Amino acid sequence: MIKPERPLSVLALTPQAAALARRLCRELPGARCSLPRVLAGDDPEVLAFDRLAPVFEKAFAQREDLVCVMAAGIVVRSIAPYLRGKDRDPAVVVVDEAGQFAVSLLSGHLGGANDLACKVAQILNATPVITTATDVRGLPALDSLAAARGLAIENLEAVREVSMALLSGKPVRLVDPDGCLSDLLEGYPGLFIAGAENDLDAVLAEAGPGVYAGFRERAWPPGWLILRPKNLVAGMGCHRGTPAAEILEFLRRIFRQERLSLASLKALATIEAKKEEPGLRQAAASLGVEFIWFTKEELQEITVPHPSQQAAKHVGAPSVSEAAALKAAGGSWCWPR
C-alpha cells in the first residue's frame, strides 16, 4: 500500500514529461509536482528547481517518495550518492515520457515502490515493471507482509536468506504463536512448516532458515528472520523521583532475565497517582512506547496473582504494576515462559 503519511514528489525535465507529471499529481493523493523553473511558470502548485541534484538530495534526506518522469539512467546516476539501505531509502519509480511503463526502481517492498508503480501504471493505463524476485515468482515478500502487519524486522539481512530458500523451493519453518502472518501465508501451501512456540528450542535446533514472529528472545540461529509485534505491556510503579535510567535498567534486566524482546514493548502502564513521575515519562519516551495510567478504582477491579497490602495502603489499590499491565493488555496475562 502507498503510505499517505510520506511525502511524494513527481519530477520531470521536459515539456512532454511535465504534462504527464501534472496529470499524476492530480490523481495521486498528496503528490507535489517538481519541474525546472522554465516549465513551472507561475503555478503555485508546482515546486520549481534550477538543478536536479539538490532535489534528489532533499528527497532522500527527508525520505520523500519519488516518481521520476525521465530516463532511468538519469535517475540511477542522480540517486547513487544517497543510497543508504532498503529500510531507509524512499520509494523511487521511473516513468518514460510516453507513459507506457512505470518501473519500480528502488525500495520495492519496504519503501512501497512496487505498489506505487502499480498505482501510477493504473492512472496512466501503463505497464507496471516489477523486478523483485519474489513478486516475479508469485512468492510472499516477507518484509512487505511484516510492514503490513506492523511487525518490526529485527534482522533485515535475514530477509534475503529466507527469500532465497523460498526461491529455491525449500520450505521454511514458521513460528507464529499469535497468528501475525499465518493467515497471509495460507495461500502458499507447502512453503512454510508451522512450529509450536512451546517447543521453540527444539524447532531452532533443526537446520535451515525460519521465521519467528513473536516477543520471545533466544540465541537465534543463522538464517532465522525475527519479526517483532508490538504486543507487550510493562506495568510499572516506582518511588517518587526514581530516575529514568534506573527504570530503564530494571526493565532491560527483567526482559533479559525472562528472555523477552524490548522491541515488542508497546506501552508502560501505571496508576494515575504516578502519571506525572518524570522518570516513568522519560523511560517511556526513551523506549518510544506509549505511557498510560488508570485510576485506583479501575485497578481495584483487576484480579491479580500477587496483591500487595503495601500498595493498598499507599495508593488505594492492591496492585499497581500487575493490575496496570493486565488492564492495559485487555485482561490477558502472559507470564514469560
- DSSP of 154-219, one letter per residue? S-THHHHHHHHHHHTT--EEEE-TT-SSHHHHTTSTTSEEE--GGGHHHHHTSSS-EEEESSB---
Sign, CA torsion 205/186/136/112: negative
**70, 12 contact by CB (below 8 A):** yes
Q: How far is it, in rounded angstroms, from Cα 15 to Cα 69?
A: 11
The CATH number of 8-131 is: 3.40.50.11220
Say if strands 224-228 and 210-213 run parallel, antiparallel, or are unpaired: parallel
Classify residue 140 by burial, with Cβ atoms within 10 Å: 0-12, 13-18, 19+. Answer: buried
Residues 6+ apart with CB under 8 A from 119: 2, 28
The per-residue pLDDT for 87 is: 85
The CATH number of 232-328 is: 3.30.420.180
The per-residue pLDDT for 337 is: 41
Residues 6+ apart with CB under 8 A from 83: 60, 89, 106
Lookup: cell for 107 = 525500495
The per-residue pLDDT for 142 is: 92
Residues of the chain with pLDDT under 70: 1-5, 308, 311-314, 316, 331-337
The per-residue pLDDT for 196 is: 79
At 301 the three-state DSSP class reads: coil
Q: What is the largest CA-CA distance in the chain?
A: 77
**75, 93 contact by CB (below 8 A):** no
Q: Where are the domains of the chain?
A: 8-131, 142-228, 232-328
pTM (two decimals): 0.79
**151, 179 contact by CB (below 8 A):** no
Spatial CA neighbour of 294 closest among 272, 278, 315: 272
The per-residue pLDDT for 154 is: 95
- pLDDT per residue as tens digits for the range 60-98: 999 999 999 999 999 999 999 999 988 899 999 999 999
The per-residue pLDDT for 84 is: 93
| Neighbour count for residue 257 (Cβ, 10 Å) | 9
**291, 280 contact by CB (below 8 A):** yes
